[in-house]
Chains A and B, each alone.
Chain A
Amino acid sequence: MKRYSAFAVAREALRYHTGWERAWRSPEPKRHYDVVIVGAGGHGLATAYYLGKNYGITNVAIVEKGWLGGGNTGRNTTIIRSNYLQDPSAAIYEKARSLYETMSQDLNYNVMFSPRGVIMLAQTEHEIRGYKRTAHANALQGVQTEWISPERVKEIVPIINLHGPRYPVLGGLWQERGGTARHDAVAWAYARACSDMGMDIIQKCEVTGVRTEGGRVAGVDTTKGAIDCDKIGMIVAGNASVLSEMAGFRLPMESVALQAMVSEPIKPCMDVVVMANTVHGYMSQSDKGEMVIGGGTDGFNNYTQRGSFHHIEETVRALCETFPMVSRLKMLRQWGGIVDVTGDRSPLISKTPVGNCFVNCGWGTGGFKSIPGSGWAMAELMATGHSPLTEEFSMNRFKEGKFIDESVAAGVAH
C-alpha cells in the first residue's frame, strides 16, 4: 500500500495525480474463506480489520449488498462520545473513543476525528440529577466527563439561548474528548487497510441465504454465488433480523427510520456538539460548515429509509428554541436510515444458536461512535470465543432479564 502523506500528495501533484493506486481492490469472491463478514458498514469493516490486525486472520471476505459504508455508517450525524451510564456501555464506547483518537495514524487515512467536545444539556431538574449521576459513574469507569454550569455552557456555545422561556438551560454534562469524525472516511480507511491485508471486499453482492451443517455454519449464498466459510459475522444493522431468519433464529429487534438533516454551509459558529434531550434535538457544525442536525425515530417499523416529516419539524423547532439564530438558516437536505433497535436499546454482540455464527447489531441510533471498539471486541469474540467487552451484550440477556438500559438517566442514544 502506498502511504498517504503531504509529501505523497505533493509528489503526485507533479504528475497530475495519475500515480495514485486504488484504495481497495474490487475482487470476485473466492470459493472459500475462513471468515465471511456480512455487511461492509463500519462495524463489519472494523471487525475484519481487527481480525487481521490482532489475530492474524486475513482469509476474510466482507460481503456487501450495496456499496461499502452506504448503510447507516454513511448517513449518521457522526457524534462520538462515551459518557454512557451503564458499565458495559461505558467500557465499549470508551474503548472505541480511545481508538478513534489514533485512528488516522493507525490506518494512515485522515478520518478527521475531531475531539471538539460534546455537551448534553440539562433542562429539567430530573435531567440535572440524571447527568450528575452519569458524571459520578463515568469517574469510576475511567471516562472523563464533567458537570458544568449554564455560564460555562454559554462560554463553550456562544450561540445558545440559556433563557428559553420554556426550558431554560440549567447546566450540562461535558465530555471534552468527545466529538465527531468523517463517517465515510472511517469506512474507507478500514476498507483500504482490510484490502491491503489481502481481505476481499465484495460489493454489490447480497447474501441471500445462510447454509448450516449439523448446527454449524457452512457458508453463505450470495447474488454472486455460494461462498463456503468456517465462521460468519452478521453485521448488517437494520437488516439483522432478515439475516438471522436466513440462519434460522430470531432476534429481539425492530427496525425503524431515524432521520437527520443538514443546513446550508455557513462560517464556523459552533465548535462543539450539543445535544438537547428534553426538547429533543442535537446539532454540530461540520468542517464544511453545515449544521448537522438529528432528531427522533419513527414510532413504527419500516425499511424505506424515509421518515415522517413531523420529526423534522419537532427537531427543528427544538433547535430554533435552543439556538434562535438557526431560524434564519435553510435546510439543505434531509434523509433517513433504518436503525436496528433492541428491547433495551443496547447492542447485541453475541454468539447465536447456530455454531460459529456471530451477530453484531442493535447499535440503533448510536453506533457510529462505537465502530472501532465494537470491531475490536467482535474480532476478539469471533477469534477466541470470548471477549470481556461483549460479555454483557449477549442475546441471553433478554432471557435473563439482564438489560443494559441507557435511557434511564436522562440519557438518550446517538
Chain B
Amino acid sequence: MSTRLANQGRLIDRSKQIEFTFNGKRMKGYAGDTLASALLSNDQMMMGRSFKYHRPRGVVASGSEEPNALMQLGVGDRYEPNQRATTTELFSGLTAQSQNHWPSLEFDVLSINNKLSRFLTAGFYYKMFIHPRPLWKHVYEPIIRRSAGLGAAPDKELKDADTYEHFYFFCDVLVIGGGVAGLQAAKAAAATGAKVMLMEQNNHWGGRAPVDGGTIDGDTPETWIEKTLEELRGMENVTLRDRCMGSGVYDHGYALGYERLTDHVPGQGGPRHRLWRIRASQIVTATGAIERPLSFAGNDVPGVMLAGSMRDYLVNWGVNPGQKVVVATNNDDAYRTALALHEAGVEVVRVVDARETGGGALMEAVREKGIRVELGRAIAKVKDGPRVTKVAICAQNGEGGAREEVEADAVAMSGGWSPVVHLWSHCGGKLTWDEAQAHFRPDPARPPLGADGEGFVVTAGSASGPLGLGAVLEDAAAAGSKAAEAAGFPAKSVAASQGASEDEAQMEAVWLMPAKADIKLRMKTWLDYQNDVKVSDVQLAAREGYESVEHTKRYTTLGMATDQGKLSNINGLAILADSLGSEIPQVGTTTFRPPFHPISLGVIGGEARGDIFQPVRKTPIYDWNDSNGADWEPVGQWRRPFAYTRSGESRHDAVNREVKNTRENLGLLDASTLGKLIVKGPDAGKFLDMMYTNMMSTLKIGKCRYGLMCTENGFLMDDGVVARIDEDTWLCHTTTGGAERIHGWMEEWLQTEWWDWKVYVANVTEQYAQVAVVGPKARKVLEKLNTKAGGGMDVSKEALPFMEWRDGKIGGFDARAYRISFSGELSYEIAVAASDGQAFWDALMEAGKEFNVMPYGTETLHILRAEKGFIMIGDETDGTVIPQDLGLNWALSKKKEDYLGKRAQQRSHMADPERWQLVGLETVDGSVLPDGAYAVGEGVNANGQRNMIGRVTSTYHSATLDRGIAMGLVKHGPKRMGEVLEFPGTDGKIYQAKIVDPVFYDKEGEKQNV
C-alpha cells in the first residue's frame, strides 16, 4: 500500500488540499503534488498499461523519463493524451484518465497479448500476417493499429482552446538545468558580466540535491539554493525561467526553451506554452543524471521503482510507495533510499547488493539501523498480483536458482546513474564510455562545433559524469567560467562553493540479474517498459543478425517509446554488446534527436493560426470588394475576388455578366496585386536585357513593352509590361504570384553574379493601388472624371497611344496611366497612391454609373484574355514550356548577345519540332472542354501508356461567343488547323475538339487600339 506520510514532503503545502479525479474517482492531494505523487498518496500504484502486452504498470520514475504513468488529461477542447503523471502539477479540478486499455485499467481485454507474449516477440509482425495478402489491410493491420497507440486521439472536431507564443532571446551563456550545478554555473558565468539565461524544467529549483543531502558551504543544499537564487535574481544580466525545459540544441548556438505557462492553471488566460528561440554564444548543459533500472524478472511490476525516485516521493511529497520494501542495487546511492525509508518508518525488508564486497559508509549506516544487507545477491523474480507481492532473492552470480522469497509490496532498484547527454549530443557532441561508472558521458574534447570550428556546448555537474556534490560544484563553476570566457568575457575567478557528501564505494556494472538468468527469466526482464522490449528480445535481434545498434532498436523498438530510451538505452546496449561478444563502446549509442522531451505541436506552430496563420495581403480596395459580393479566391497571400456575385446569382452567371458588360460597356478590375518592381541605376538597362528575353534597354521613356522572363533552363517563368520611367529607371510589372519571386530572382542575380553592376531593385507593389479601366467606355469615364475635376491628363488616343504611359492628374488624383490591355478592349491601367486607392475607385464607380460600370473578378480577367488568345503564366506555362511553344518567338530578341535562358533554348530538345505548341481548341458541340484533359494519339508507348499528343491549358465558357473555348498545347499543333482531336474525360466521356487559331475574338486587334 502506498500512503501519505504524517510529515515530510518539502514541496507540498498541507494547508492547501486539492481535489481531482482519476478514472472518474474523486481523490485528494496537496498543492505542490504532482499527479503521480497524489495518486500514490491515494494508494493508486497502478497507473497505466504497456504498449504491446497491455501489462499493468505503476509509476517507475519521478520525472520526465517516466515511461508508464501516461495519462489522458483534461476535457473538451483542453483534452490532451499522453501526459506524464510525474511532470503534471496537481491543480484543483484536474481530471485524469489512464490509457491504453479497454474496458478499464483493472480489467483490460487486450491483456490477452500478455498471455501470448511468448509468440509476440521482437519483430513477430515481420514474420507473420504474410498470407493471404488481402488480410493484412483488412484484418491484421486494423487489429494491430487498434491495440497500438497510447492515449485516445483528441476529438476529430477539437479546436484547441489554448494559445501559444514564440519568444526570441539572445544571450552569451545559456545554462540549461537549474540544479545545484546549473545554479553554480550560471553564477560563475554571470560574474563575468556575461548575459546569462538559466532555465529549469520543474517548478522548483535545485534538482536532486535537497533530496540527496550533503552540505554546501556548510549549509544544507536548500539554504544554499535559496541564497544563490536570491543572488542571481538580483543580477541584471541574468534571466531565470522555471517550468522551462531546454528542448533542443541546434547549429550555431540556436536552442529552444519550452516553457509551460498555464498547464498547472488551465484556462487562466494567456498562452499555454511559450517557445523560446534562443541564440546563445555558449550553452552549458547542467541536465543532471538519470538512474538506470536493474534488469531482473518482473522489474516492470507495479511497485518496482527507481530508488532515487522512491526517495523523491518520500522527501519531496511525503509519500511512501509501500509498507515493506526491498532495495536492490549495484551502487551506494540506493542506500540513501534505504535510509530515507527507514526514517519514514517504512520497513526495509532487505537491501540486495549485487556487489560481493558491498558498499561503503552509506552501507554501514544502513546496517547500523538494523536493516539486513545481503551482498552478491540479486532479485531473481518479482511476483505480482497485480502489484508487488513477493520478491525472490538469489545469488547474483548464478542462473536464478536457490531462491529465498520475501514478502514485500515495493522494490527500489538502482543500476547506477547515466548523465543526461541529450542536449550535448543533439548537435554533434560526442560521447565517451566511462568504464568505472558504466555510463556514456560527454567527451569534452569533442564538443558540438560552431561556425568558427570551436565548441559551443559545455557540460556541468553530473551531466558531465561526476556524481559527488563537491565534484559537481567544482565542475559547474569551471563550466560557467569557461563558457563565459568562450563567449568573450574575461574570466573572473569565482570560487566554487564547497560541497560535501558521503564518500561512495565503487559501483559495479550489473546488466542482468542474476548474471546468468535463464531464458524464462529473461523473457520477463524488461528493458523498455512502455514498448515491452525484454532482454530476450534484444538477444533475439542479435541472433538474427540485426547487429547494428540502430537495427536492434528498430527491430525490437527498444528506445522508441515516448521516453526515447531514457531508461532503457544503456541497459539494452549492454545486453546487445554481450550478445555480440563485443564491448559497449564498440556497439555505440543511437542518435539523440530533439526534443529532449516531447513538446506540444501547438507551441511549435506558435501564434500563427486561424486568421493569422499567414498574413492576408489586402489591396486598398479590399473592404469595398468584401462588402460588394466578392467571392474570394486565395492567390498567394493575397485574396482576389473571383467574381462579384449578386444576391440570387450563381458564380457562373456572375462571370458571364461581368464578361459581357466589360466587352460592351465598362468594367473595373482591382489590379493592385500585380507585381511592381522598380529597377534603377546606370546598369539597369543592361540588367533588364539579361532578365528579359526582349530588349528593354532601348525602350523609349514614356513607352511600355510586354516582356518575357525565362529561367536559366530556358523555361518561361513570368511575363508583364515594362515601362521606362526615365533615363535610368524602369518599372517592371510581374504577375500577382510572381512579385516576390521575381524580386528575389533579380536580387539573386545581382548579388551573386553581377554584384558589380550598378542596379537597385525595389518592390513597390503595395505602394500603389492599380485599377484597370476596361471597355468601350473606358475613355469616356476618365474624361468625365477630368471634366468634373476641372481638367486633367489628356487620355485621347493621340496624347496617350496604345503601349505608352503618362503621369498626370485624373479626376484630381495624382495618377500614372498605362495604356495596356490584357482583355483586348480599350483599356487603361491606372496607378494611384495606395492611400488614394479607395477614393479613386469610388470616383470611378460613381462616374461610371451612366456607362453601366461593373467591377469584375479574376475569372472574367481570365476569360477576357483567353478570348484574345493571350497566355497566362501558370496556365499556358507550367515550368516546362518555352516561349517558342507559345508562338512568342517575336519576343525573343535576336539582337542581344545573351539573356537568361538563351543558351538553354538552343539545346536539342528545345528546338525539337515535335514539341507541343499553342493552339486554340473548340469543342465540336460547343461545350466546355474539361480542365487539364489530354488529347490521345494512336497506340501506347514502350511502358504501355496511352500515347498523348496534346493537352488543354485553359478552358472556359465564353459569354461573348456563347460557347466553350480553350487553349492547348498540341504536337505539330499550328500545322494541324481544323483537325479534330479526342480528349478522354475522367467522367468516361470523350470530348472532341477542333484545332483553331488561339485568338477567338477581335483577331485584328482593333478594339484595344481605338
Residue contact B945 to A132, C-beta cutoff 8 Å: no
Within 8 A of A (CB), among B120-151: 121, 124-131, 133, 136-137, 141, 144-146, 148-151
User: Nearest chain-A residue to B254 (Cβ)?
Assistant: A309
Cβ of A277 < 8 Å from any Cβ of B? Answer: no
Residue contact B613 to A269, C-beta cutoff 8 Å: no
Residue contact B127 to A9, C-beta cutoff 8 Å: yes
Residue contact A287 to B155, C-beta cutoff 8 Å: no
CB contacts (< 8 Å) of A309 on chain B: these are 248, 250, 254, 256, 277
Asked, given contacts A287-B145, A317-B605, A324-B159, whether A408 binds B879 with beta carbons under 8 Å apart, the answer is yes
Residue contact B601 to A140, C-beta cutoff 8 Å: no
Asked, given contacts A309-B256, A325-B153, A401-B904, whether A140 binds B146 with beta carbons under 8 Å apart, the answer is no
Q: How far is the CB of A55 from chain B (nearest CB, A)?
A: 19
Asked, given contacts A268-B145, A325-B158, whether A102 binds B945 with beta carbons under 8 Å apart, the answer is no
CB contacts (< 8 Å) of A70 on chain B: these are 548, 550
Cβ of A164 < 8 Å from any Cβ of B? Answer: yes
Q: How far is the CB of A269 from chain B (nearest CB, A)?
A: 3
Asked, given contacts A13-B118, A409-B932, whether A317 binds B606 with beta carbons under 8 Å apart, the answer is yes
CB contacts (< 8 Å) of A402 on chain B: these are 909
Tell me how many residue pairs across A and B have CB atoms closer than 8 Å.
Answer: 334
Q: Which of B76-84, B361-369, B698-706, B809-817 contacts the other chain?
A: B76-84
| Other-chain residue from B119, B599, B601 in contact with A10 (beta carbon distance below 8 A) | B119
Cβ of A313 < 8 Å from any Cβ of B? Answer: yes
Residue contact B931 to A129, C-beta cutoff 8 Å: yes
CB contacts (< 8 Å) of A317 on chain B: these are 604-606, 608-609, 613
CB contacts (< 8 Å) of A400 on chain B: these are 907-909
Within 8 A of A (CB), among B937-978: 941-946, 948, 951
Residue contact A264 to B544, C-beta cutoff 8 Å: no
Cβ of B650 < 8 Å from any Cβ of A? Answer: no
Docked pose: A319 CA to B986 CA in angstroms: 30
Asked, given contacts A16-B519, A16-B536, whether A9 binds B951 with beta carbons under 8 Å apart, the answer is no
Docked pose: A249 CA to B250 CA in angstroms: 35
Docked pose: A81 CA to B137 CA in angstroms: 16
Cβ of B32 < 8 Å from any Cβ of A? Answer: no
Residue contact B248 to A332, C-beta cutoff 8 Å: no
Asked, given contacts A110-B125, A135-B932, A328-B154, whether A142 binds B595 with beta carbons under 8 Å apart, the answer is no
Asked, given contacts A17-B121, A22-B545, A102-B133, whether A137 binds B126 with beta carbons under 8 Å apart, the answer is no
Residue contact A124 to B635, C-beta cutoff 8 Å: yes
- A117-154 vs B, Cβ < 8 Å mask (1 yes, 0 no): 00000011110111011111101111000110000000
Residue contact B932 to A132, C-beta cutoff 8 Å: yes
Residue contact A264 to B129, C-beta cutoff 8 Å: no
Residue contact B879 to A405, C-beta cutoff 8 Å: yes
CB contacts (< 8 Å) of B951 on chain A: these are 133, 136
| Other-chain residue from B80, B158, B633, B874 in contact with A324 (beta carbon distance below 8 A) | B158
CB contacts (< 8 Å) of B585 on chain A: these are none
Cβ of A394 < 8 Å from any Cβ of B? Answer: no
Cβ of A54 < 8 Å from any Cβ of B? Answer: no
User: Nearest chain-A residue to B986 (Cβ)?
Assistant: A135
Number of interface residues of B (CB under 8 A): 116
Residue contact A74 to B600, C-beta cutoff 8 Å: no
Cβ of A289 < 8 Å from any Cβ of B? Answer: yes
Residue contact A110 to B136, C-beta cutoff 8 Å: yes
Cβ of B468 < 8 Å from any Cβ of A? Answer: no
Docked pose: A405 CA to B154 CA in angstroms: 39
CB contacts (< 8 Å) of A287 on chain B: these are 141, 144-145, 148
CB contacts (< 8 Å) of B51 on chain A: these are 265
Q: How far is the CB of B822 from chain A (nearest CB, A)?
A: 18
Cβ of A30 < 8 Å from any Cβ of B? Answer: no
CB contacts (< 8 Å) of A324 on chain B: these are 158-160
Docked pose: A182 CA to B880 CA in angstroms: 35
Residue contact B545 to A23, C-beta cutoff 8 Å: yes
Residue contact B601 to A331, C-beta cutoff 8 Å: yes
Docked pose: A188 CA to B125 CA in angstroms: 13
Cβ of A301 < 8 Å from any Cβ of B? Answer: no
Cβ of B322 < 8 Å from any Cβ of A? Answer: no
| Other-chain residue from A26, A165, A266 in contact with B152 (beta carbon distance below 8 A) | A266
Cβ of B713 < 8 Å from any Cβ of A? Answer: yes
Asked, given contacts A104-B130, A320-B609, A330-B601, whether A264 binds B150 with beta carbons under 8 Å apart, the answer is yes
Within 8 A of A (CB), among B486-529: 519-520, 523
Cβ of A407 < 8 Å from any Cβ of B? Answer: yes
Docked pose: A97 CA to B868 CA in angstroms: 44
Asked, given contacts A132-B930, A203-B548, whether A388 binds B943 with beta carbons under 8 Å apart, the answer is yes
Docked pose: A25 CA to B546 CA in angstroms: 10
Cβ of B230 < 8 Å from any Cβ of A? Answer: no
Residue contact B932 to A129, C-beta cutoff 8 Å: yes
- A255-283 vs B, Cβ < 8 Å mask (1 yes, 0 no): 00000000111111101000000110000
Docked pose: A266 CA to B610 CA in angstroms: 24
Residue contact B551 to A306, C-beta cutoff 8 Å: no
CB contacts (< 8 Å) of B608 on chain A: these are 317
Q: How far is the CB of A127 from chain B (nearest CB, A)?
A: 10
Residue contact A304 to B948, C-beta cutoff 8 Å: no
Q: How far is the CB of A67 from chain B (nearest CB, A)?
A: 4
Cβ of A225 < 8 Å from any Cβ of B? Answer: no
User: Nearest chain-B residue to A128 (Cβ)?
Assistant: B931
Asked, given contacts A133-B951, A403-B880, whether A18 binds B519 with beta carbons under 8 Å apart, the answer is yes
CB contacts (< 8 Å) of B642 on chain A: these are 125
CB contacts (< 8 Å) of A188 on chain B: these are 126, 546, 555
CB contacts (< 8 Å) of B158 on chain A: these are 324-325, 328
Cβ of A213 < 8 Å from any Cβ of B? Answer: no
Cβ of A116 < 8 Å from any Cβ of B? Answer: yes
Docked pose: A360 CA to B642 CA in angstroms: 45
- A81-96 vs B, Cβ < 8 Å mask (1 yes, 0 no): 0000001101100000
Within 8 A of A (CB), among B628-671: 633-635, 642
CB contacts (< 8 Å) of A115 on chain B: these are 137
Docked pose: A107 CA to B279 CA in angstroms: 50
User: Nearest chain-B residue to A130 (Cβ)?
Assistant: B932
Docked pose: A210 CA to B168 CA in angstroms: 49
Within 8 A of A (CB), among B880-934: 880, 904-905, 907-910, 930-934
Cβ of A5 < 8 Å from any Cβ of B? Answer: yes
CB contacts (< 8 Å) of A102 on chain B: these are 133
Docked pose: A394 CA to B910 CA in angstroms: 17
Q: How far is the CB of A405 from chain B (nearest CB, A)?
A: 5
User: Nearest chain-A residue to B609 (Cβ)?
Assistant: A320
Residue contact A87 to B941, C-beta cutoff 8 Å: yes
Q: How far is the CB of A374 from chain B (nearest CB, A)?
A: 14
Cβ of A329 < 8 Å from any Cβ of B? Answer: yes
Residue contact A136 to B124, C-beta cutoff 8 Å: no
Residue contact B146 to A330, C-beta cutoff 8 Å: no
CB contacts (< 8 Å) of A319 on chain B: these are 601
Residue contact A265 to B149, C-beta cutoff 8 Å: yes
Residue contact B146 to A268, C-beta cutoff 8 Å: yes
Cβ of B602 < 8 Å from any Cβ of A? Answer: yes
| Pairs across A and B, CB under 8 Å, 22 listed | A88-B943, A101-B133, A110-B130, A114-B141, A128-B931, A132-B930, A142-B944, A147-B986, A167-B634, A264-B598, A266-B81, A309-B254, A320-B609, A325-B159, A328-B600, A329-B601, A331-B604, A334-B248, A391-B942, A401-B904, A401-B909, A407-B879
- Interface residues of chain A, those whose CB is within 8 Å of chain B, are 4-6, 8-10, 13, 16-18, 20-26, 66-67, 69-70, 74, 87-88, 90-91, 101-102, 104-105, 108-116, 123-126, 128-130, 132-137, 139-142, 146-147, 158-159, 164-167, 182, 184-185, 188-189, 203, 263-269, 271, 278-279, 285, 287-289, 304, 306, 308-309, 312-313, 316-317, 319-321, 324-335, 343, 388-389, 391, 397, 399-403, 405, 407-409
List the 3 closest A-B pairs by CB distance, nearest first: A133-B932, A289-B149, A269-B153
* Contacts A139-B986, A165-B611, A264-B81 supplied; 19 other A-B pairs, CB < 8 Å: A16-B523, A17-B540, A18-B543, A25-B545, A70-B548, A116-B137, A133-B951, A158-B156, A165-B613, A264-B82, A268-B153, A289-B145, A306-B427, A312-B604, A324-B159, A328-B160, A330-B600, A331-B599, A388-B943
